[in-house]
Structure 1
Amino acid sequence: MNNYKKALHILLGLFFVLMAFTSCKEVKKENINNLLVKGMVVSDTLKWSERMILSEIERFPKASLLDFREKPRWSYTNGLVLSAAARVFEQTKNQKIYDYIYTYADEMIDSTGTIKTYKLSNQNLDMIKSGDVLLYLYPKTKEERFLKAMETLNSQMETQPKTSDGGYWHKKVYPYQMWLDGLYMAEPFHTKYALDFVEDKDKAQKIFEDVVLQFDLIQKHSRDEKSGLLYHGWDESKEQRWANKETGNSQHFWSRGMGWYGMAMVDVLDFLPENHPGRERIISYLNQFAEAITKVQHESGLWYQVLDQGDREGNYLEATGTSMFTYALAKGVRKGYLDKKYLEVAKNGYQGLLDNLISVEENGVVNLNKCCGVAGLGGNPYRDGSFDYYINEIIRSNDPKGTGPFIMASLELNK
């Protein structure tokens, strides 16, 4: 009889364990079903960084079509978003994100290492940015074609036309011009390539000198002593209609232009050797930059499209520049380049984005609104760099020049 009772107890115990296990499975299944019923594509339980990159993947299932493209293209916006994606993958190990990054390189680099849609002869600094994707993938994959493509991009840097004092032209079609954008497009790649792939120490040192020189020259030619802000472009020839006939500078302080510059400084410092004398100069430029942009931050935490003209009709609080400033300041503090007071400035900027410019769809997809779509100088049709020009360029949601920096700012602030 005792044996019978023991057996009964064991069977009852097993029954309750089985019921509990089934119940847990049912709960999990119910949670998944709830997500499906709600049509959730991106879970709102994730951090903002992962939510945004998964939203980008939903919007642009092929990374080669980022930036609302109809045909695949090797361009800087792809490199910007995918560099941000790589940082998210390193934290989350979400394979979907890595596959998104890899597929871009796989599609755009053929078996010989040729970069599709890229022309070396254009000498366009924008095209260097996606080289960051290859710097990330090559150590993981050891695919020779990725190395060859990087060598091609480095050869562009070695032959890039320069101003009389050594500043890289932004593009061959923009002769004698340095733009703030160009420092972010090219210098982080050039510095890391020299660090990891140039075995000749003298050659690597020459590249480091060239990189630092670009920051020295931008400070010399483009910085306004009174406000501390930097003009978008500088024309050595002073022939462009947008250029001041005495200084060669464009007319205004454009938010994203300065955003590119801030990101360039904090990212180049990741790779410039600790003992390089140029480090301290770049850190000093970063501190001047932080002080200047803090003075023109709006009470909402955001920054205006034209930085110093906040009270002027038509100006607006803009997402891409704000995301870039937030990232640059937060990283600058974390790395010890900036005083801790700037962390509050960054946090205010980030909160301003969440409160005013971020919206979430019913399916969980995250949108970043009020992004300036594009802005440049010269070209055809001609862009005159006037106030009216900057405020009247297209404004759209989810421009990659905003989503990429928003992801990086989210990571820096661990939001």
Structure 2
Amino acid sequence: MKKKTFPILLLIFLLAIGCSKKSPIEKVTKVFEKVKSETIFNLVEVEQKQIKGLNILDFGIEFPEEKHAAFFAKSSVISGEKQQVEIGSSSNIPFAVFVNGKKQFVQPKRRSFEFREIAYDIFNFQDSFNLDFNKGNNEIVIQTLSGERPKIYLKEISPPGKELKLKFGKWVFSKSLRNNFTKTLDLSDLNWQNKKLVMQHSIETPKVRTYPREANNEWTYSNGAAILGLMNIYNYNNDESLYNYVKQFCDFTLTNYDLLRKDYFDNNSLRCADYRMFRKAMLDDTGAPTLPLILIYQKTKDEKYIPLINEMAEYVSHGQARLSDGTLCRPEPVEMTVWADDMFMSAPMLLRVALINDDKSMADDAVKQILNIHNYLWDEKAELHKHAWFDDVKEQSQIFWSRANGWIIWAVTDALQFLPKESESYNKVMKIYNKIIRGIIKYQDTDGIWHQVLNNPTSFGETSGSAMFTMAIAAGVNNGWLDNSYKDHALKGWKAISRKISNDGIVKDICRGTGIGYDEEFYMKRKRFPNDPRGLGALFTCAVEVEKLMKDQ
């Protein structure tokens, strides 16, 4: 028995040594293989998913053959108390709203339908009005006048993330020859039908997968960042499997564009596959998600990618809200908020499209975002960036979030590789780079990791931010921006990060997508999902820079 035990233990020991000697790129290639194995390039039809609390009354879908009828829709509404609630609506047809038999609102105009989701859980409607509800069950009835494919959206207006006061039941529909609004509601002559089942296209995903949320080939900023990381590996080692995956990703997006556009706009499938591409409400929808198409175009020069690249670039340049000085901002959590994240969501895309289109103004805009966002968010005492700037009160947010600082240093590091070294812009961005590096190394823990809240070592060691910082330091040494004394910070960082990666390609401790928090607790309690792509792109890029660093030793 003892004779058999020794060889087994020796084998385990040798396997452990072998694993520990994997190069950074070998280590993260396992992660890529895991992601690839859980990616299916196929659309499936599923029952339509919808934005929470949004009621879509599309009479053209319910009664496709009716061209001249007026329509009714009816539902129950449960209210926790007797209250008045503000409702937002968009419509292309005159309509009246009755609650418990009483007419409470009339929209009298025939007009074009306009509705926009302008940020996470924030919407622009054409109208807003108050409705009175009793405690308990209420009946709501919508009556339209006749018209071509009448459509109405209704939603309770509430702050993002807050529980809704009302709970709507299922809607039923009827058609009518009545074409005027009366004071009293008579429904006795109407025949009601249930809402039709509407299908939408979604990206097929495995029944069991590591990352449980968006598909790995969905149009998202996180997948855009992950693809950037993969192409950084490909540009280093010419691994064709990486290139083929990225090209398949891009071609899948383009192939399904028209079908999904029809889903989104014609069938009201506001959560169909790649819906962010059509929502175009923020830089998260338009900047970083476009990177895969840009990178493949730069490789193939295939013009089929250009229209969508330019569509998204137009939004980044002219569609996103800005402060008076041109700094990109968002309407959340309050109007005119500058986010650290948006330096990465904008600058890498702008710099690359500037090259494609030979458009210096886009490169200048990228530099402007880097300089301005840094100036708004930099805390001189801590030598870190805050997560946000609230322009309405001229104040920074309170917390030094790891990935917020990471997005910034990644964008800065990326920009230095595009700007002409003799330019004033390069020198200005380089000064910012050096300031950030001097600050960030102070917050590296003794084991090499950086924490979720950078100045709070009791917060968890966070993988995505740590990868971004390690990548930036290693790139600095590799490019001669930093002297060799910084090598140890990069190598310690990689050692800590590599402990977060299992042998079967699963990365842990990546903070989920995170809005602007007002206190430490918000950041400390954020969920972590394995193989969240919000950390993978930085991890892949980090592996390249650390491997270069190790080879130069």
Tell me the TM-score range normalised by the shorter chain: 0.7 to 0.9
**Cα distance, 1:132 vs. partner?**
1.7
Letter in 2 for 1:84: G
Say which of 189, 210, 226 aligns to 1:81.
Answer: 226
Find the aligned partners of 1:87 and 1:225 in 2 and give their Cα distance: 32
Within-5 A mapping of 1:16-165: 47-62=26-41, 68-69=212-213, 73-110=218-255, 116-117=274-275, 118-119=277-278, 121-159=280-318, 160-165=320-325
3-state SS of the aligned residue for 2:389?
strand
Q: Distance in 2 between matches of 1:161 and 1:126?
A: 14
Q: Which residue does the alignment assign to 1:253?
A: 400
Per the TM alignment, residue 189 of structure 1 is displaced from its structure 2 partner at its CA by 1.1
Size of the alignment, in residue pairs?
A: 346
**Higher relative helix content:** 1
Structure 1 partner of 2:350: 190
Q: Which runs of 5+ in 2 are unaligned?
A: 1-21, 43-202, 262-273
Match of 1:324 among 465, 468, 471: 468
Specify whether residues 126 and 304 from structure 1 end up closer, same or farther in structure 2 by C-alpha distance, changes over 3 A only: farther
Q: Could you say which residue in structure 1 is the equivalent of 2:500?
A: 357
Is residue 283–residue 342 contact of structure 2 (8 Å, CA) maintained in 1?
no
For residues 518 and 329 of structure 2, the distance between their equivalents in structure 1, rounded to whole angstroms, comes to 18
Which structure has the highest strand share of the two? 2
**Separation (CA, whole Å) in 1 of partners of 2:302 and 2:486:** 41
- Relative contact order higher in (CA < 8 Å, ≥ 6 apart): 1
**Partners of 1:134 and 1:142 in 2: how far apart?**
11
Residue 252 of structure 1: how far off its partner (Å): 0.4
- Distance in 2 separating the partners of 1:339 and 1:141: 37
Q: Counterparts of 1:300 and 1:126 in 2: how far apart (Å)?
A: 36
TM-score by length of 1: 0.76
Code of the aligned partner of 1:359? S
Q: 2:489 aligns with which of 345, 358, 375?
A: 345
Distance of aligned partners of 1:94 and 1:409 in 2 relative to their CA distance in 1, 3 Å threshold: same
Larger radius of gyration: 2
Tell me if 1:308 matches 2:287.
Answer: no
Stretches of structure 1 that go unaligned for 5 or more consecutive residues are 1-43, 199-203, 239-246, 378-383
Counterpart CA distance in 2 for 1:323 and 1:269 is 18
Tell me the equivalent position of 2:477.
333
Task: Provide the residue aligned with 2:97 in structure 1.
Answer: none
1:153 shift after superposition: 1.4
Residues 324 and 409, structure 1, Cα contact 8 Å, conserved in 2: yes
Bigger shift: 135-144 or 252-261?
135-144
Question: Would the alpha carbon gap of residues 349 and 125 (structure 1) be closer, same or farther in structure 2, given more than 3 Å must change?
Answer: same
Q: 1:397 to 1:344 in 2, by over 3 A?
A: same
Deviation at 1:174, TM superposition (A): 5.9
Q: SS of the residue aligned with 1:178?
A: strand
In 2, distance between residues paired with 1:183 and 1:227? Answer: 20
CA deviation profile, 1:142-199 (whole Å, cap 9, x unmatched): 333311111111101221221122101146886311111111111011012112323x
Distance 1:413 1:316 in 2: 23
1:407 maps to which of 530, 534, 540: 540
1:372 lines up with 2:511 in the alignment: yes
Partner amino acid, structure 2, of 1:358: I
Q: Which moved more, 1:256-265 or 1:405-414?
A: 405-414
For the residues of structure 2 that align with 1:251 and 1:86, how far apart are their CA atoms?
35
CA distance 1:143–1:211, change in 2 (3 Å): same
TM-score, with length taken from structure 2: 0.58
Contact 2:350-2:365 within 8 A present in 1 as well = no
The share of aligned pairs that are identical, in percent, is 25
What secondary structure, in the 3-state scheme, does the structure 1 residue paired with 2:506 have?
Answer: strand
Alignment equivalent of 1:282, drawn from 429, 447, 451: 429
The alpha carbon displacement at 1:346 in A equals 1.0
Please tell me whether residue 206 in structure 1 is matched to residue 361 in structure 2: yes
| Counterpart for residue 414 of structure 2 | 267
